Structure 1
Amino acid sequence: MIVPVNEKNIARAAALLAAGQIVALPTETVYGLAADAMNGQAVAAIFAAKGRPQFNPLIAHVSGADMADKYVEIDALSRKLMRHFWPGPVSFVLPLRAGSLIHPLVTAGLPTMAVRCPQGIFADIIARLGRPLAAPSANISGRISPTTAPAVERALGSKIPLILDGGACAIGVESTILAIKGGEISLLRAGGLTREAIEEAAGQAVIKQNLGAAIAAPGMLPSHYAPEAVLRLKARIIRPGEALLAFGANRAKNYEKAVAMLNLSEKGDVREAALHLFAYLARLDKIVSKTGGLIAVEPIPQSGLGEAVNDRLARAAAKRPPSGF
C-alpha cells in the first residue's frame, strides 16, 4: 500500500518496523526495503521478499556517526569523510565491534558491515526507533532499482505492508561504497557521491575495486540492476529490433530505426543521466520484452556520476546467473 509522507504515516512506518515488519522508504538515492537490523526474522523477510541470496550483505542505515560508532569501529579517515558527507549517498565498510547486536544476516557472516546515514525521513525514522535499519533497494534481487513508490509497488507491492511515498529520488543511483584500510580508500561500488568529491575531501586518490571482485559489500555481484532485456553497451549503430537508451546530442547511426528511444540527458549531463537511468531502463524494457529485442546504450562519459552510471550499466549487461539463483 502506497501512502504519502506525513506525520501519521511516518509514525505508522516506525511502528511497523518496531514490530518486526518490512517497509519501503524513500531515500535520496533509491527506495529502500527496510527492517530492524537487530531482528533476524525481519531481516530474513527482506531476503525472502526480494529473492536475494543470503551471501549478499546489506547496508545498515544509521542516524549518524554516533549511532554507527556503537556497532562498527570507525577509523580516523572514515570519520573525517562521515563528517564531510553525512547525511548523504556514501556508505563505509567497517569492522564490526565485538558483541555487536546486528544480526549476522545483515553482514552475510562477514567481520565487517556497511553503514550509511541517509538524508530525509529515513534518518528521522531511524532516530525515532533508536536502532539501525538494514535496507537494500526495494526491488526483486538483481533487477532495476526503484526510484519512485509506484516502481516499488509494481515489484513488491503484494509482499510488503507499507510503501512511504516521498516522490522521485533526487539522485537515482545507489550510494557509493568505500572501504578504508591502511590509510588507502577503496571504491567498492561507484554511486551517488563522485570519486572526485571524495578525493578532494580526503586529499588522496581513491582506488577502484574491479568488477567481479570478492563480495565485501552490497551491489558487488557481477550481474545486478538488470532489466529483462539484454543490454548492448557503447552502441555506435542501432540494429533491427533494438530500443535505444541515448545520451547527449549526437546519435548512433540508424537511431531513427530504433523501436523506441529515451535520452538520459539531451544536454549530456551525467547527473541528469543518473537521475533517469533506472526509470528509463524500465520503460524501454517494457517495450522490447514484448518483441525479444535488445536495448542498445550509447556511450556515456566516466566523469563524475558517469562512473556510477557506467557501473550500473556494466552489471546490468553482464552474463546472468542461472535461473533460481
Structure 2
Amino acid sequence: MADIIDTRTDPETALVRAEKVLSEGFPVAIPTETVYGLAADATNPDAISRIYEMKGRPRFNPLICHVSDFAMAEEYVIFDPLSRRLADAFWPGPLTLILPLKPTSKVHALASAGLDTLGVRMPDGFSRKVIARFGRPLAAPSANTSGKISPTTAAHVEADLGSKLTLILDDGPAEIGLESTILKVEGDSIKLLRPGGLDVADVEKLTGLSVERPASAGAAIEAPGMLASHYAPGARVRLNATSVQAGEALIRFGGGKIAGEDKAVVVLDLSPSGNLREAAAHLFDYMKRADASGAETIAFGVIPNEGLGEAILDRIERAAAPRDGEAV
C-alpha cells in the first residue's frame, strides 16, 4: 500500500520523498487545485509507461504535462502571442494550452501520444513546489483508473490506486474539483477541447474573441477528456431527471426537491444555494458517494448550461455515454 504524507503538516518530507520516487521512475499521486494527479517524469518513457499501466489508459490518449514556471514551459513548447497572453492571465491555474512541441523538446513521445503538440499547464498549490523541486515537467493525468470518476481527495486515490502506488501526497480536498479547461489557439481563433475549471466566459472577456466549441463529438483526440465515455461510475447515469425511481441515487442542484426523491437510496445536492463553483467542487465526490450507495442508476437533476455548468454537464454527459460493448 502507498505511504500517505500530509503536505500541510510535513511539507519538506513530502518534497524529499516525492523527488526520490519520481527520480526512480515511479509515479506519485500529487494534489492540484483541480483534481489529484498521477504524476511521473515526462521525459522518462518507463515512468510514463507506468502511468498508462496503472490507469489502464489507452496510449493514444495524450497526457498533460505540468510545469512550475514559464522558463520550464519554454524549454519544451512554443508559445504564439495569443497563447502566451492566456497563460499570463490564467497561470498558475486550471488552464491547459495545446502548444507545438519544440524540435529540441525532451518530453517523450509517449506523453504526447506521438502528436507534434503537447498539453501544458502550470498548476497552483503544492504540486507546483513538487515540480520545481524535481526540475522537469511531470506528466499527470487524474489519479484514477481510466474512464472512472476523478479523485478530489487523497482518500479517493488510495481507494482506487493505493495498492499500485508508493506515495500519495495529501493536501486536503481539491479546491476546484474539475479538471482544467483545455484550449488550443489556431491563428486568431481559440478552440475549446475540454471545458473545465476555468470559465470560458473569462477567456472571452480577456481576449474579446468567441471561443469555438467542437463541431462534433467524434473529433480527433487532441487532448485528454475527449473520449465519448469517461468519468464513469459503476452505476448507470441519467441526466435531467425530473422524477426519481425507487432505488435510484439522486444528485440534484439548487435546493429544489424532485418528485419521488423520498424513494431514492441517497439524495445529494451539489449546491443548495445554486452556486456552480460549489457544485463543481462537489461533483466527483458526490458521484463516488452515489455510486457507493449500491444504486444501479444515478439520476442527475437539471443543471444550468452556463459558466462552470458547461464543464459539469460535460462530465455528466460523458459519464452517461454508452460504454464499451453497449449499444449506442
Give TM-score, length-normalised by structure 2.
0.95
Alpha-carbon distance in 2 for matches of 1:138, 1:322: 25
Please identify, of 242-251 and 27-36, the stretch whose mean Cα deviation from structure 2 is larger. 242-251
Deviation of 1:316 after TM superposition, in Å, equals: 0.5
Q: Give SS of 1:79's match.
A: helix
Of the three residues 126, 130, 140, the one matched with 1:125 is 130
The answer to whether 1:278 aligns with 2:280 is no
Q: Give SS of 2:163's match.
A: coil
Aligned residues: 320
Q: Give SS of 2:46's match.
A: helix
Q: Give SS of 2:288's match.
A: helix
Q: Percent identity?
A: 53
The answer to whether 1:257 aligns with 2:263 is yes
Q: Is the 8 A contact 2:15 2:133 kept in 1?
A: no
Q: Is the 8 A contact 1:244 1:262 kept in 2?
A: yes
Q: Is the 8 A contact 1:288 1:295 kept in 2?
A: no
- Aligned structure 1 segments of 4 or more residues deviating by more than 6 angstroms: none
Deviation of 1:147 after TM superposition, in Å, equals: 0.3
> What is the 5 A alignment of 1:173-192?
173-192=178-197
Deviation of 1:243 after TM superposition, in Å, equals: 1.1
Instruction: Give the aligned partner of residue 315 of structure 2.
Output: 312
Task: Give the counterpart letter for 2:25 in structure 1.
Answer: G
Alpha-carbon distance in 2 for matches of 1:284, 1:46: 27
Q: Give SS of 1:168's match.
A: coil
The answer to whether 1:3 aligns with 2:9 is no
Gaps of at least 5 residues in structure 1 are none
Q: Give SS of 2:212's match.
A: strand
The answer to whether 1:107 aligns with 2:112 is yes
Please identify, of 276-285 and 255-264, the stretch whose mean Cα deviation from structure 2 is larger. 255-264
Q: Is the 8 A contact 1:65 1:79 kept in 2?
A: no
Of the three residues 58, 66, 79, the one matched with 2:84 is 79
Per-residue CA deviation, residues 58-93 of structure 1 (Å, 9 max, x unaligned), is 000011222111111111000001000100000000
Per-residue CA deviation, residues 22-61 of structure 1 (Å, 9 max, x unaligned), is 1000000000000000000000000000110101000000
Task: Give the counterpart letter for 1:129 in structure 2.
Answer: F
Q: Is the 8 A contact 2:255 2:269 kept in 1?
A: no
The answer to whether 1:219 aligns with 2:225 is yes
Alpha-carbon distance in 2 for matches of 1:320, 1:4: 36
> What is the 5 A alignment of 1:203-218?
203-209=208-214, 210-218=216-224
Give TM-score, length-normalised by structure 1.
0.96
Q: Give SS of 2:99's match.
A: strand
Please identify, of 274-283 and 247-256, the stretch whose mean Cα deviation from structure 2 is larger. 247-256
Alpha-carbon distance in 2 for matches of 1:81, 1:63: 16
Task: Give the counterpart letter for 2:199 in structure 1.
Answer: T
